[in-house]
Structure 1
Amino acid sequence: MKKLFLLLCFTSFGVVAQNETVSFTKQSDKVDVVIGGKYFTSYFFPGEAKLKKAVLFPILTASGSTITRGYPMAPRAGERVDHPHHVGMWLNYEDVNGFDYWNNSNNIVSSLKSHKMGTIKHEKIVSTKAGKVGKLEVTASWVDDDGKGKKVLDESTTYIFSGSKDLRIIDRITTLIAVSDVVTFKDVKDGMFAIRVARQLEIPSNKPDVFTDTHGIETKVPVMDNTGVNGNYVSSEGIQGEAVWSTRAKWMNLTGELDKHTVNVAILDHPANVSYPSYWHARGYGLFAVNPLGVKVFSNGKSELNYTLKKGEKLTFRYRTIIADRGLGKDELDQAQAKFAQEVK
């Protein structure tokens, strides 16, 4: 069913229906994903001493342009060096039973070491399946007390990869199962599915910013040279730029130019996800995130969620990311989101 959907999706985007072959190469700390003979991304799990979660990093377009920021794993000249926990593409959350799984990083300043952090430990590569549609299945554990305490959640994630001459598509389907008697996702700002994009895809800004999370942690984002910086968000509801932050949308598209050609990165929400259509935690400085469990801050206190699981209960998140070496219009993205909703349950 999923394979059929992906073939139809490529047809609707005006490219050949035949997908390029996806293959995998396993290494000690990563699984490389190759599409049509070209490196695309890696499922990267270097261990908690280097990174407090597994991520997809880096991520390239079909033409070979890198859409993700390099810092802190592979810094590049001219990049921002804020938010060292923003690496590649990931899924985690700021407050689970009082522990912060979002902000945890080995690069945090010493004054924050008393902050209650959680760690998401990669457990196992369950399976890989190559072909016109590639599938990678993995498991992980959400462990409190910076990975030294008790397991709170079991995670089972399936990545589905596909591509054509100018498109790359990633489905991430993650199921979290409560291990603790009660697991509460406190209604907070920082979460949940996210990409930290390359400097060129940021929105140009001429002012500094200071961002403070619910625990009082401040991150300063300074003014930088905007040469070559040309990103812009466009939502399914027609909202653009910095104004998309805290709005709800079925999909969000980041448009820009990278390596002298148009690049679009679109994230699609799914009707079966909590709080659909979700609030978007998309910032001009390069954080591109959707947060289905944060409602209070985005609604200015009008609503509050505090989602809770009892032991053994499950919660599934479904997201599709489309990476294109060209523009993606509203009609195309509306069609793609509708097909995603129909074919992935």
Structure 2
Amino acid sequence: MKINRKKLWLAIIVLCFAGSLYAQKQSVSAVKIGNRIDIMIGSRFFTSYRFEQNEKYPFFYPVNGPLSGGSVTSMRNGIYPHHSSLFFGCDRVNGGNYWQEGLERGRIVSIGARIVEAKGEQVVIEDECIWKRPDAVAPVLDRRKIAVSSPGKDLYQLDFNIEMEMLTDVTIIKTNHSLFSARIDPDLSVAQGGVMINSEGKKGEKGTFGVSSSWIDCYGKRKTGVEGLAILQHPSNKWYPSPWFTRDYGFISPTPMYWPADDKATQLKKGEKITLRYRVLVHGGDTEEADIAQLFEQYKRE
């Protein structure tokens, strides 16, 4: 039988490349400790999902970078201390506030955080969260599934699948505080010399504020090298691609409720369910080196 040497060498190259990619993947593990879930990538601590009963909402903090081991997000620093790292919430929902300080104004309370997959190529967390405030009907129940993995040596990934169920008719008045958000660590912010860039190549608050785009990446230099965090919106999302609320001091959020149609409130009916998907990439290198555009192309096919 005649062997096609060209095809044989091509097959070997493909197998070697696939093996190299597989070798770059790192194992992930999770453990629940009280009111938090700690996540390790290999032997390094990556992040904690925190759901303490005295918090405004569940959130992830720290969110450590693959090069420095330091957080790429920040927690309640001087400017706008109601931003808690990586979180999901909303203001002006049926008269309540599920975003800013003041627990009596509204809280998103975890009622069932659990680890579904504790170890392997990914860990999976599920949670149910009730939105409530005193003397008012709870407007929303959200169900979260969060998968954490490390597809590459310098790449950590969090996949969020959040189903919002309306427990009553819901009115969300126009607000710049809505849904998925990240408060970037100051040393990665534009104000400190970092870069904020969207999928159209527009940069900074001036270029990205109010612009509909599939993703935004923020990165900056650290002593150990360049690190960053990107948020990707999945094309299946309602309101996709949402315009972004951005700040040069280090804040990014795809925020549909700030630009409602005809400048009217967002109305959602009792029993309506909305599923929102986001991917967070914590990466080494800048946007091009991390290949964020190509990673989004992969994400939108999933």
What does 1:86-235 correspond to in 2, within 5 Å? 86-105=83-102, 117-129=105-117, 130-145=119-134, 149-163=136-150, 164-180=152-168, 182-204=169-191, 229-235=192-198
SS where residue 300 of structure 2 aligns?
Answer: helix
- 2:75 and 2:171 map into 1 onto residues whose CA distance is 33
- 1:188 and 1:70 map into 2 onto residues whose CA distance is 22
- 2:102 and 2:165 map into 1 onto residues whose CA distance is 24
SS where residue 25 of structure 1 aligns?
Answer: strand
Please name the residue that 2:221 is paired with.
257
C-alpha deviations, 1:140-192, integer Å up to 9, x for none?
A: 100134xx643211110011101132110111111111112x01222321222
Q: How many matched pairs?
A: 280
SS where residue 324 of structure 1 aligns?
Answer: strand
CA, structure 1 residues 260+35, in 2 after alignment: closer, same or farther (shift >3 Å)?
closer
- 1:274 touches 1:293 (CA, 8 Å); kept in 2? no
- TM-score normalised by L of structure 2: 0.86
Note if 1:311 corresponds to 2:270: yes
- 1:303 and 1:256 map into 2 onto residues whose CA distance is 38
- 1:188 and 1:330 map into 2 onto residues whose CA distance is 35
C-alpha deviations, 1:294-318, integer Å up to 9, x for none?
A: 215xxxxx74363322222101111
- 2:75 touches 2:81 (CA, 8 Å); kept in 1? no
Task: Name which of 73, 81, 85 aligns with 2:82.
Answer: 85
- 2:177 touches 2:255 (CA, 8 Å); kept in 1? yes
- 2:214 touches 2:241 (CA, 8 Å); kept in 1? yes
| Larger relative helix fraction | 2
| Larger relative strand fraction | 2
- 1:124 and 1:69 map into 2 onto residues whose CA distance is 26
CA, structure 1 residues 274+131, in 2 after alignment: closer, same or farther (shift >3 Å)?
same
- 2:264 and 2:300 map into 1 onto residues whose CA distance is 23
CA, structure 1 residues 247+62, in 2 after alignment: closer, same or farther (shift >3 Å)?
same
Percent of residue pairs identical: 26
Please name the residue that 1:37 is paired with.
43
- 1:331 and 1:30 map into 2 onto residues whose CA distance is 30
SS where residue 293 of structure 1 aligns?
Answer: helix
SS where residue 151 of structure 1 aligns?
Answer: coil
- TM-score normalised by L of structure 1: 0.76
- 2:201 and 2:262 map into 1 onto residues whose CA distance is 24
CA, structure 1 residues 159+305, in 2 after alignment: closer, same or farther (shift >3 Å)?
farther
Offset of 1:291 from its aligned partner? 0.8
- 1:124 and 1:249 map into 2 onto residues whose CA distance is 33
Offset of 1:330 from its aligned partner? 8.9
C-alpha deviations, 1:281-304, integer Å up to 9, x for none?
A: 1101121211133215xxxxx743
- 1:330 and 1:38 map into 2 onto residues whose CA distance is 23
- 1:37 and 1:195 map into 2 onto residues whose CA distance is 25
Offset of 1:105 from its aligned partner? 4.1
Please name the residue that 1:52 is paired with.
56
Offset of 1:62 from its aligned partner? 1.7
SS where residue 140 of structure 2 aligns?
Answer: strand
5+ residue gaps, structure 2, are 1-16
- 1:303 and 1:331 map into 2 onto residues whose CA distance is 38
Please name the residue that 1:7 is paired with.
none
- 1:303 and 1:260 map into 2 onto residues whose CA distance is 47
| Larger Rg belongs to | 2
RMSD after superposition: 2.2
Note if 1:334 corresponds to 2:297: no
